[in-house]
């Protein structure tokens, strides 16, 4: 039997002279160095096929498959189909499509938990024979009552003392279908007084007469996840079982089951989930949005599902880039969705061909251009990729421009088209507006303009300059299209923050979708395939809808606007120039004793620390304040390494409003003293316990 180290995180840091790595790679490096698992790396991605994958799963997919590839190992795809009431083949098919689209392959290693149902049952019988499991008649509610709480020990079931023979007989009859749903369970016999409630005789099997999507009605007892998880990993030869943080307290149970069976035991390692602002990740809540028709389906482009992101025009490369930037940590944090959009723009800017489209068309007639004449102008397909070449765009007497590219009475900083003003038509000519045509309601319906034939290509031989460049399409050749402008689905950064009596749906954005009809696009887009993405110049990135677009009815989805909010955020959060400190005490602003009294300070012990991804000055630290744990972001990385921070007892301001710093949530502030270029944390010596008040 292969066993991982007894203390899996005792040496989670890389050697001092090695390049810094995250804690999972550090553990794997140690295993590779000491020969654990015969220097193999074998991971798995084990989704439950009860819904569609979302971008949170994408992080796990990238980590599971990515690490296996990095270390020359393997990664299995496993469907954790232990709950027949919620699982469907539809979800299995969607999961496999999503994982492949993200760029990963499992070769011939697609497995199902149901593949192991027979092995799991045999192992359970073995534990019963050894007195390590028993059949219980308590109801689900009674089991919860007997389990106790975090502060009170549990009580033993009155059925816990059944003989091995009776338990074997009852368990066989459970399997044979003699008992109704919920009437009996098989429970592990561990310790009802354990401080870890997961050890208080956890349920291994429940009676459930339901048809399974693969095994039909062969089984009427189904294993619980804690029992099934480790066995599946063991049978498949997994070496590193990577999970999200909510399974951290379940790890001892994972190990206990495999130790009792004496079989191969992988190393379970937990990392933090991916959370995004303006987004919900709960499958239950996403399902509710679908069922209540608050969105059009699982692949609605506003949904954080992988199929929804794909339909909106997101690329697999952008999602993989986000996961790389966020990194692997054990800290609970929320990433600004603007970072995801930044990764997407960065990728699409390199790969998306350019095109011109007019979403709110205003007709332009070039009065000095010959009627019936058509010429073609050359346009660059992608300025970031010379190999993409050029295309020919038709140009004629009548064009469409964007309505907001014209202003009858322009403001001082408006440089686009206006009466008497000259602008550049992208790739074509200089254009001057001479006359404005309005309808009876006083609305502008047409512009009469002239062009300068000598400026073809966008430059004037006489060297004169224009400040404005606008896009256009030929009225005669343009294709009609429907364009859907998508925005964030929720109005609040944290959709879970709701007023009393409301739930997360109260925060839905009523303007998350705007449908535009009668849009005019250049003719090269008429045959664009479903899913193809383009940059509509000056507007943003758009893709052909993969469900509703059809010949004669072209539908484009806006993937993301051109404006990059993350770049602005990063600029704001960049270290500001140091201000010259006041040379006299009199220059320091004074506060009253009442203001100082509002600060609540307590002692805290730092139990973990690591760099905030993509920064060199910020550490995210986990502190223990009495019985409470918090995460705090502190700008001390240039003065303390993560290893130096761990174990210090420091002073923390505990009543500050939570803040998100570089995508990481911070709840408090470490106190430090700084003079010139030196900084020292204020620490506490002696026997003062954590959580003690200061002041």
Show the beta-strand stretches assigned E in 179-236. 185-188, 203-207, 221-223
**pLDDT single digits (tens) 179-192:** 999 999 999 999 99
Q: Coil, helix or strand for 652?
A: strand
Res. 577: pLDDT tops 80: no
Catalytic: which of 78, 206, 251, 283?
283
CB 519 within 8 A of CB 530: no
Predicted local confidence at residue 458, as pLDDT: 86
Q: How confident is the model at residue 571 (pLDDT cuts 50, 70, 90)?
A: low
Res. 16: pLDDT tops 50: no
Predicted local confidence at residue 684, as pLDDT: 83
Predicted local confidence at residue 578, as pLDDT: 39
Average pLDDT over residues 597-609: 82
Predicted local confidence at residue 11, as pLDDT: 32
Predicted local confidence at residue 580, as pLDDT: 40
Neighbours of 277 (CB within 10 A): 19
**pLDDT single digits (tens) 155-166:** 999 999 999 999
Predicted local confidence at residue 595, as pLDDT: 58
Q: How confident is the model at residue 615 (pLDDT cuts 50, 70, 90)?
A: confident
CB 337 within 8 A of CB 518: no
Q: How confident is the model at residue 657 (pLDDT cuts 50, 70, 90)?
A: confident
Distance of CA 431 to the CA centre of its chain: 46
Of residues 445 and 641, more confidence is placed in 445
State the CATH architecture for 591-694.
Answer: Beta Barrel (2.40)
β-strand pairing of 669-670 with 361-366? unpaired
* Assigned CATH class of 23-271: alpha beta
Average pLDDT over residues 7-31: 62
Determine the Cα–Cα distance for residues 310 and 247; give it in Å rounded to an integer.
Answer: 29
Predicted local confidence at residue 499, as pLDDT: 87
Beta bridge partners, 221, equal 207
Beta bridge partners, 555, equal 482
Catalytic: which of 3, 132, 273, 492?
273
Average pLDDT over residues 411-421: 93
Predicted local confidence at residue 695, as pLDDT: 66
Beta bridge partners, 136, equal 185
H/E run at residue 31: helix 23-34
Determine the Cα–Cα distance for residues 288 and 359; give it in Å rounded to an integer.
Answer: 33
Strands of the sheet containing 74-79, edge to edge, are 42-45, 74-79, 110-112
**pLDDT single digits (tens) 439-470:** 999 999 999 999 999 999 988 999 899 999 99
Res. 596: pLDDT tops 60: no
Res. 403: pLDDT tops 80: yes
Determine the Cα–Cα distance for residues 200 and 194; give it in Å rounded to an integer.
Answer: 6
Mean pLDDT is lowest, of 63-72, 600-609, 661-670, for: 661-670
What does 380-432 look like in DSSP terms, one character per residue?
A: ES-TT-GGG-EEEEEE-SEEEEEGGGB-SS--TT--SB-BT-EEEETTS-EEE
Q: Coil, helix or strand for 372?
A: coil
Catalytic: which of 9, 11, 48, 156?
48
Relative orientation angle of helices 251-261 and 117-129, to the nearest 10 degrees: 80
* Cα dihedral: 255, 260, 264, 267 (round 10): 10
Average pLDDT over residues 305-332: 95
Nearest Cα residue to 671 out of 656, 657, 659:
656
Of residues 582 and 598, more confidence is placed in 598
Determine the Cα–Cα distance for residues 426 and 432; give it in Å rounded to an integer.
Answer: 14
CB 643 within 8 A of CB 355: no
Mean pLDDT is lowest, of 9-13, 296-300, 498-502, for: 9-13
What does 139-175 look like in DSSP terms, one character per residue?
A: -HHHHHHHH--SSS-----TTTT--HHHHHHHHHHHH
CB 235 within 8 A of CB 223: no
Q: Coil, helix or strand for 112?
A: strand
Mean pLDDT is lowest, of 258-272, 418-432, 498-512, 589-603, for: 589-603
Alpha helices (runs of H) in 574-662, residue ranges in sequence order:
593-597, 642-645
458: left (phi over 0), alpha (psi -120 to 50) or beta: left
Determine the Cα–Cα distance for residues 9 and 249; give it in Å rounded to an integer.
Answer: 14
Predicted local confidence at residue 3, as pLDDT: 54
- Please give the backbone phi and psi of residue 537, each rounded to the nearest 5 degrees, phi first: -55, 130
Q: How confident is the model at residue 18 (pLDDT cuts 50, 70, 90)?
A: very low
Determine the Cα–Cα distance for residues 397 and 428; give it in Å rounded to an integer.
Answer: 12
H/E run at residue 482: strand 479-486
Q: How confident is the model at residue 579 (pLDDT cuts 50, 70, 90)?
A: very low
Of residues 572 and 135, more confidence is placed in 135
Burial of 302 (0-12, 13-18, 19+ CB in 10 A): buried
Predicted local confidence at residue 566, as pLDDT: 46
**pLDDT single digits (tens) 199-258:** 999 999 999 999 999 999 999 999 999 999 999 999 999 999 999 999 999 999 999 999
Please, what is the average pLDDT of the chain? 90
Determine the Cα–Cα distance for residues 612 and 549; give it in Å rounded to an integer.
Answer: 42
Res. 589: pLDDT tops 90: no
Determine the Cα–Cα distance for residues 632 and 623; give it in Å rounded to an integer.
Answer: 8
Res. 588: pLDDT tops 50: no
Res. 665: pLDDT tops 90: no
For a pLDDT cut of 90, what percent of the chain falls above it?
75
Name the token pair of 369.
């251009």
Determine the Cα–Cα distance for residues 382 and 530; give it in Å rounded to an integer.
Answer: 20
Establish whether 273 is a catalytic residue.
yes
Q: What is the pTM of this model?
A: 0.80
CB 304 within 8 A of CB 512: no
Establish whether 48 is a catalytic residue.
yes
Q: Coil, helix or strand for 541?
A: strand
Predicted local confidence at residue 338, as pLDDT: 92
What does 567-592 look like in DSSP terms, one character per residue?
A: HHHHHHHSPPPPPPPPSSGGGSPP--
CB 343 within 8 A of CB 559: no
Q: How confident is the model at residue 424 (pLDDT cuts 50, 70, 90)?
A: very high
Q: How confident is the model at residue 20 (pLDDT cuts 50, 70, 90)?
A: low
Average pLDDT over residues 425-434: 97
**pLDDT single digits (tens) 300-309:** 999 999 999 9
Query: Where along the chain do its domains lie?
Result: 23-271, 591-694
Res. 45: pLDDT tops 80: yes
Q: How confident is the model at residue 9 (pLDDT cuts 50, 70, 90)?
A: very low
Res. 583: pLDDT tops 60: no
β-strand pairing of 267-271 with 240-244? parallel
H/E run at residue 91: helix 89-101
Determine the Cα–Cα distance for residues 223 and 104; give it in Å rounded to an integer.
Answer: 29
Res. 587: pLDDT tops 50: no
Predicted local confidence at residue 14, as pLDDT: 32
Determine the Cα–Cα distance for residues 154 and 156; give it in Å rounded to an integer.
Answer: 7
């Amino acid at each position: 039997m292969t066993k991982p180290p007894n203390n899996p995180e005792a040496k989670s840091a890389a050697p001092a002279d090695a390049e810094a790595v995250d804690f999972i790679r550090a553990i794997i490096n140690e295993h590779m160095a000491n020969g654990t698992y015969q220097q193999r790396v074998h991971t798995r991605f084990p989704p439950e096929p009860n819904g569609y994958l979302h971008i949170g799963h994408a992080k796990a997919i990238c980590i599971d498959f990515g690490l296996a590839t990095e270390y020359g190992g393997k990664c299995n795809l496993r469907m954790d189909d232990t709950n027949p009431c919620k699982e469907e083949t539809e979800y299995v098919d969607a999961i496999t499509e999503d994982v492949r689209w993200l760029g990963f392959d499992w070769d011939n290693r697609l497995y199902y938990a149901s593949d192991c149902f027979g092995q799991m049952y045999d192992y359970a019988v073995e534990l019963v024979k050894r007195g390590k499991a028993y059949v219980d008649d308590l109801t689900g509610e009674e089991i919860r009552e007997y389990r106790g709480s975090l502060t009170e020990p549990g009580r033993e079931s009155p059925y816990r003392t059944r003989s091995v023979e009776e338990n074997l007989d009852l368990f066989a009859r459970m399997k044979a279908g003699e008992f109704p749903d919920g009437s009996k369970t098989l429970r592990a016999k561990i310790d009802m007084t354990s401080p870890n409630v997961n050890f208080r005789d956890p349920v291994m099997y429940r009676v459930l007469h339901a048809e399974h999507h693969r095994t039909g009605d062969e089984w009427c007892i189904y294993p619980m996840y804690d029992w099934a998880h480790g066995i599946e990993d063991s049978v498949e030869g997994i070496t590193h079982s990577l999970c999200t943080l909510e399974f951290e307290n379940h790890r001892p149970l994972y190990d206990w089951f495999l130790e009792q069976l004496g079989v191969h035991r992988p190393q379970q390692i937990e990392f933090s989930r991916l959370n995004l602002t303006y987004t919900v990740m709960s499958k239950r809540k996403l399902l509710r949005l679908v069922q209540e028709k608050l969105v059009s389906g699982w692949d609605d482009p506003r949904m954080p599902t992988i199929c929804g992101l794909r339909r909106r025009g997101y690329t697999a490369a952008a999602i993989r880039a986000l996961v790389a930037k966020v990194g692997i940590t054990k800290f609970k944090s929320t990433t600004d969705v603007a970072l995801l959009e930044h990764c997407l723009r960065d990728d699409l800017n390199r790969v998306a061909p350019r095109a011109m489209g007019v979403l709110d068309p205003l007709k332009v007639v070039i009065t000095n251009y010959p009627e019936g004449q058509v010429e073609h102008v050359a346009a660059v397909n992608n300025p970031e990729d010379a190999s993409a070449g050029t295309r020919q765009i038709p140009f004629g007497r009548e064009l469409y421009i964007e309505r907001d590219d014209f202003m009858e009475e322009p403001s001082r900083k408006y440089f686009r088209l206006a009466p008497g003003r000259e602008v550049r038509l992208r790739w074509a000519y200089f254009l001057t507006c001479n006359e404005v045509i309005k309808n009876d309601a006083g609305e502008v319906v047409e512009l009469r303009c002239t062009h300068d034939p000598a400026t073809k290509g966008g430059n004037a031989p006489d060297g004169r300059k224009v400040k404005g460049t606008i896009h256009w399409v030929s009225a005669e050749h343009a294709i009609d299209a429907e364009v859907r402008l998508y925005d964030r689905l929720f109005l609040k950064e944290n959709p879970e923050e709701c007023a009393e009596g409301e739930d997360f749906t109260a925060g839905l954005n009523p303007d998350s979708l705007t449908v535009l009809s009668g849009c005019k696009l250049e003719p090269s887009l008429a045959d664009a395939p479903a899913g193809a993405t383009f940059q509509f110049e000056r507007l943003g990135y758009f893709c052909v809808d993969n469900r509703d677009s059809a010949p004669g009815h072209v539908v484009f989805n806006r993937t993301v606007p051109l404006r990059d909010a993350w770049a602005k955020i990063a600029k704001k959060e960049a270290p500001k120039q140091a201000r010259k400190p006041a040379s006299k005490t009199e220059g320091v602003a004074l506060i009253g004793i009442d203001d100082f009294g509002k600060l609540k300070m307590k002692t805290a012990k730092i139990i973990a620390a690591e760099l905030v991804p993509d920064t060199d000055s910020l550490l995210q630290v986990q502190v223990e304040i009495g019985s409470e744990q918090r995460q705090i972001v502190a700008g001390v990385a240039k003065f303390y390494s993560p290893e130096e921070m761990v174990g210090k007892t420091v002073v923390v301001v505990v009543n500050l409003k939570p803040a998100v710093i570089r995508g990481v949530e911070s709840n408090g502030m470490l106190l430090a003293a700084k003079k010139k270029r030196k900084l020292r944390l204020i620490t506490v010596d002696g026997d003062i316990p954590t959580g003690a008040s200061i002041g």
